[in-house]
Amino acid sequence: MLNFTVGPVMSAEDILEVANHSTPYFRTPEFSALMLENENLMLEFLHAPAQSRCVFLTSSGTGAMESLVMNVLNAQDKVLVINGGSFGQRFVELCALHCKNFTEIKLPFGRALKQEHLEPYAGQGYTALLVNMHETSSGVLYNMPMIAAFCRKNRILLLVDAISAFLADKLDMEALGAAAVITGSQKALAVQPGISVVALSPAALARVEENPELCMYLSLKEALVNGVRGQTPFTPAVTTLLQIHKRLTSIRESGGVEAEQRRISAVANHFRCGIQDLPLEQFSESPSNAVTALRPAKQNAKEIFRILKDEYQIWICPNGGIWADSVFRVGHIGFITEHDNSTLIHALHDLRQREIL
């Protein structure tokens, strides 16, 4: 199958090879050394400020989202949540579940966040802001410099879910003044699912230190203490961590994070140029390089997904809920090339010929 979803995505051969062995024992100096390198490479690639730390949780990305809500936020916080789709909605539900004092800024699906959406909340005593840098459900990449300036001016702690943006879109934790940035293994890191990554600036570390413990498994305090010696409190997804190490070192060897971003951006642009003569409307404002959300003229997105899967061995990414028939997405992350794009574009032309598209 050719996989154009947004995760899990296809992995390179050398990454697949890592998983082709029994899981090694991990309470060893060798594994600790590898984990310390993972932490340093992540902090370097995120442009994290000095004295930042990074931990690896054995969970899907949602575990990292929940860990931020439980460990970095506290009962005194007044929180703003940007809600432009299902991942923004997930932050809203996490804040409600954990009884945070929060306000959501709800955006129409597929639309960008504008200064006028933020302005009413200036000078209102808000202390933290949660945002999914790329709202993967709609494909919108938010204007992070604008959000960062708002947070800086109003002394608001900026917490960024960059789960699908890391490696795909420009991300500089220090320039944004972000207190925390999270990502996950199965998006542009393009390895197996199972690990989420949490990077914390000194400001966020101080909060984790001071806040009461609310949870054992997702405790960032425990993860940080164990991380000092390159270990985790509980058995981690060892193989996924080995794959992350392989992937991070190979990114470093092939030009670094900027080169990887340029590669993903080129794959996205190649696809977007290639579909211009098809009856597919690019759905979202300010799209991320990670994904293109498309609206087919015949409003049969679910059907297109099924036919590409069953007859062409291609997975595109369906949308859920009320958008299931009107929108589908095509991912540009993972081990995917312009040649793969051409295979999909060819299949879409075939659907056009068959009057399905």
Ligand X SMILES: *Cc1c(COP(=O)(O)O)cnc(C)c1O
Q: How far is the CB of 16 from ligand X (least distance, A)?
A: 20
Among 8-16, 119-127, 142-150, 156-164, the segment contacting ligand X (CB under 6 A):
156-164
Nearer to ligand X, 133 or 157 (CB): 133
Six-digit token string for 228: 């000092």
Q: Which of 84, 184, 230, 318 binds ligand X (CB under 6 A)?
A: 184
Q: Which is nearer to ligand X, 57 or 128 (CB)?
A: 57
Looking at residues 57 to 76 of the shown chain, list those that interact with ligand X (rule: CB under 6 A): 60-62, 65
Least CB distance to ligand X at residue 85 (A) = 9
Burial of 62 (0-12, 13-18, 19+ CB in 10 A): middle
CB contact set of 72 (below 8 Å; sequence gap of 6+): 128, 157, 159, 179, 180, 200, 204, 207, 208, 211, 220
CB nearer ligand X, residue 285 or residue 350: 285
Query: Residue 57 in contact with residue 200, Cβ under 8 Å?
Result: no
Nearest Cα neighbor of 142 from 83, 61, 196 is 83
State which residue has the least CB distance to ligand X.
61
- The residue from 3, 4, 7, 46 that contacts ligand X (CB under 6 A) is 7
The site that binds ligand X (CB under 6 A) totals a number of residues, namely: 14
Between 62 and 300, name the residue whose CB sits nearer to ligand X.
62
237 or 348: CB nearest ligand X:
237
Cβ-based nearer residue to ligand X, 134 or 245:
134
Residue pair 23/239 in contact (Cβ under 8 Å)? The answer is yes
- For position 194 contacting ligand X by CB under 6 A, the verdict is no
Q: Which is nearer to ligand X, 7 or 334 (CB)?
A: 7
Report which residue type is found at 350.
D
What is the end-to-end Cα distance of the chain in Å, rounded? 21
Q: Which of 72, 163, 293, 327 binds ligand X (CB under 6 A)?
A: 163
Structure tokens, 119: 């302005």
Site for ligand X in 126-155 (CB under 6 A): 132, 134, 136
Q: Which stretch binds ligand X (CB under 6 A): 157-165, 166-174, 224-232, 336-344?
A: 157-165
Question: Is 143 or 231 the residue whose CB approaches ligand X more closely?
Answer: 143
Strand order in the sheet with 101-106: 53-58, 195-200, 180-184, 157-161, 128-132, 78-83, 101-106
Site for ligand X contains 169 (CB under 6 A): no
**Out of 26, 31, 56, 87, the residue judged to bind ligand X by CB under 6 A:** 87
Backbone angles phi, psi at 62, to 5 degrees: -60, -30
Least distance between ligand X and beta carbon 188 (Å): 10
**Residue 164 sits in the site that holds ligand X (CB under 6 A):** yes
For 104, other C-beta atoms within 10 Å of its C-beta total 17
Contacts with ligand X by CB under 6 A lie at 7, 60-62, 65, 87, 132, 134, 136, 161, 163-164, 184, 187
